[in-house]
Chain A
Amino acid sequence: MPLPQPCPAPPCCSRRCGAGGANSRQVRRMMGAATTRIGQQDPELVDRTGFSPEQINNLHKRFLQLSGNKDTISRENLNDIPALTYNPIKSQIIEAFFDKRNQHDSEVGSLEEITFEQFLMVMSHFRPPTLEMTAEEKQAMRKEKLRFLFNMHDTDGDGKITLEEYRKVVEELLSSGSIEQESAKEITDAAMLEVASTNVPHMGPEDFYEGITFEHFEQILKGLEMESRMHIRFLDTATVHCGKS
Chain B
Amino acid sequence: MPSRMGARAPAGFARSFWELGLLLLLVFVLLQGSVFPYGADASSQHAKDGCSSTHEGKPNRTKKVFPVLSFEYDHIKTPFEVSLWVLFASLMKLGFHLVPRLSSIVPESCLLIVVGLLVGGLSKLIGESELPKLDSGNFFLVLLPPIILDAGYFLPIRPFMENLGTILMFAVVGTLWNAFFIGSVLFAVCQIPAAGLTHLGLLSCLLFGSIISAVDPVAVLAVFEEIHINELLHILVFGESLLNDAVTVVLYHLFEEFSAFGTVTVLDGFLGVISFLIVAFGGVLVGAIYGILAAFTSRFTSHMRVIEPLFVFVYSYIAYLSAELFHLSGIMALIACGAVMRPYVEANISHKSHTTIKYFLKMWSSVSETLIFILLGVATVGGPHNWNWIFVTSTVFLCLVARVIGVIGLTFIINKFRIVKLTTKDQFIVAYGGLRGAIAFSLGFLLEVEDEEMRHIFLTAIITVIFFTVFVQGMTIKPLVELLAVKKKQEAKRSINEEIHIQFLDHLLTGIEDICGHYGHHHWKDKMNRFNRKYVKKWLIAGERSKEPQLIAFYHKLEFKQAIQLVESGAGGKLSSALPSTVSIQNIQPKKPPPAPEPRERVLPQLPKSREEEIRKILRSNLQRTRQRLRSYNRHTLVADPYEEGLNDLLKKQKMFELEKKIKEMNNYLSVPVATSDSPTLRRARLASGRQTDFKPDEQQNGKKQTSDPQAYNVKPDPVDVPTIQVELASPQSPDSVNIMDEFRKDKEKDEDTGLTMKLPSGPSAPPRKQSEEEDAKDPQKLTRCLSDPGPSADEGEDDPFLP
* Interface residues of A, Cβ cutoff 8 Å to B: 9, 11-12, 15, 59, 62, 65-66, 78, 81, 83-84, 86-90, 92-93, 97, 123, 126, 128-131, 149, 152, 162-164, 169-170, 173-175, 179-180, 182-183, 186-187, 189-198, 200-210, 220-221, 223-224, 228-235, 239, 241-243, 245
Contact = CB atoms under 8 A, between A and B. Distances in A.
Contacts of B277: none
B421 A130 contact: yes
Nearest to A61: B517
A173 B517 CA distance: 22
Contacts of A170: 500, 551
Interface stretch (B293-301, B750-758, B791-799): B750-758
A230 B509 CA distance: 7
Contact of A232 (B502, B522, B583, B683): B522
Contacts of B558: 190
B563 to A, nearest CB: 13
The list of the 9 closest CB pairs from A to B, nearest first, reads: A83-B514, A243-B517, A131-B421, A197-B581, A128-B419, A12-B416, A93-B511, A197-B583, A241-B517
Contacts of B519: 83, 242-243
Contacts of B420: 128-129, 228
A186 B562 CA distance: 14
Interface string B323-335: 0000000000000
B260 interface: no
B680 A169 contact: no
Contacts of B515: 62, 66, 78, 81, 84, 93, 97
Nearest to A199: B583
B512 interface: yes
Interface in B554-568: 555, 558-559
Contacts of A182: 687, 690
Interface in B464-495: 490, 492, 494-495
A174 B552 contact: yes
B417 interface: yes
Given A163-B592, A201-B583, 4 more contacts: A9-B416, A86-B530, A93-B508, A232-B516
A220 B518 CA distance: 32
B530 A193 contact: no
Contact of A87 (B511, B582, B591): B511
B501 A221 contact: yes
Given A163-B591, A173-B507, A193 B518 contact: no
Given A194-B497, A243-B514, A162 B582 contact: no
Contacts of B504: 89, 149, 169, 173
B762 interface: no
B588 A88 contact: no
Contacts of A9: 416
A220 B500 CA distance: 11
A123 B516 contact: yes
B507 A206 contact: no
A83 B524 CA distance: 11
B423 interface: yes
Contacts of B508: 89, 92-93, 149, 152, 230
B124 interface: no
Interface string B426-439: 00000000000000
A207 B587 contact: yes
B589 interface: yes
Contact of A131 (B415, B551, B691): B415
Given A123-B512, A220-B495, A224-B498, A243 B518 contact: yes
A211 B591 CA distance: 10
For the residues of B in contact with A, the DSSP-based class is helix
Contacts of A66: 515, 517
A211 B17 CA distance: 71
Given A183-B687, A190-B680, A209-B583, A232 B513 contact: yes
Nearest to B590: A208
Contacts of B50: none
Given A131-B415, A149-B501, A187-B552, A84 B511 contact: yes
B497 A191 contact: yes
B732 interface: no
A93 B511 CA distance: 7
Contacts of A208: 587-588, 590-591, 595
Interface in B23-74: none
A93 B512 CA distance: 8
B591 A162 contact: yes
Interface in B503-542: 503-505, 507-523, 526, 530
Nearest to B586: A205
B405 to A, nearest CB: 20
Contacts of B517: 62, 65-66, 241-243, 245
B419 A196 contact: no
A200 B522 contact: no
B555 A209 contact: no
A131 B423 contact: yes
B549 A174 contact: yes
A81 B420 CA distance: 29
Contacts of B530: 86
B702 to A, nearest CB: 14
B599 to A, nearest CB: 13
A221 B497 CA distance: 7
A191 B496 CA distance: 6
- Find the residue from A129, A207, A232 having the highest chain B CB count within 10 A: A232
A239 B517 CA distance: 10
A239 B586 CA distance: 54
Nearest to B491: A223
- Residue among B502, B590, B592 with the highest chain A CB neighbour number at 10 A: B590
B90 interface: no
Contacts of A152: 508
Contacts of B421: 130-131
Contact of A197 (B500, B514, B579): B579
Interface string B586-607: 1111111001000000000000
Contact of A189 (B492, B552, B588): B588
Contacts of B755: 204-206
A11 B416 contact: yes
Contacts of A129: 420
B456 interface: no
Contacts of A235: 516, 518
A180 B495 CA distance: 20
26 contacts: A83-B523, A87-B514, A87-B526, A88-B507, A89-B504, A92-B508, A123-B516, A131-B421, A169-B504, A180-B549, A186-B555, A189-B585, A190-B680, A194-B495, A194-B580, A197-B581, A205-B757, A209-B583, A221-B501, A223-B490, A223-B494, A232-B520, A233-B419, A233-B520, A239-B518, A245-B517
Contacts of A230: 505, 508-509
A87 B523 CA distance: 11
Interface string B407-421: 000000001110111
Contacts of B589: 163, 189
Contacts of B516: 59, 62, 123, 232, 234-235, 243
B551 A174 contact: yes
A223 B592 CA distance: 31
Interface string B136-170: 00000000000000000000000000000000000
B692 interface: no
A234 B513 CA distance: 9
Contacts of A84: 511, 514-515
Contact of B680 (A88, A186, A224): A186
A90 B691 contact: no
Contacts of B496: 187, 190-191, 194
B584 interface: yes
A59 B549 CA distance: 33
A173 B581 CA distance: 27
Given A201-B581, A206-B753, A187 B423 contact: no
A95 to B, nearest CB: 11
Contacts of A93: 507-508, 511-512, 515
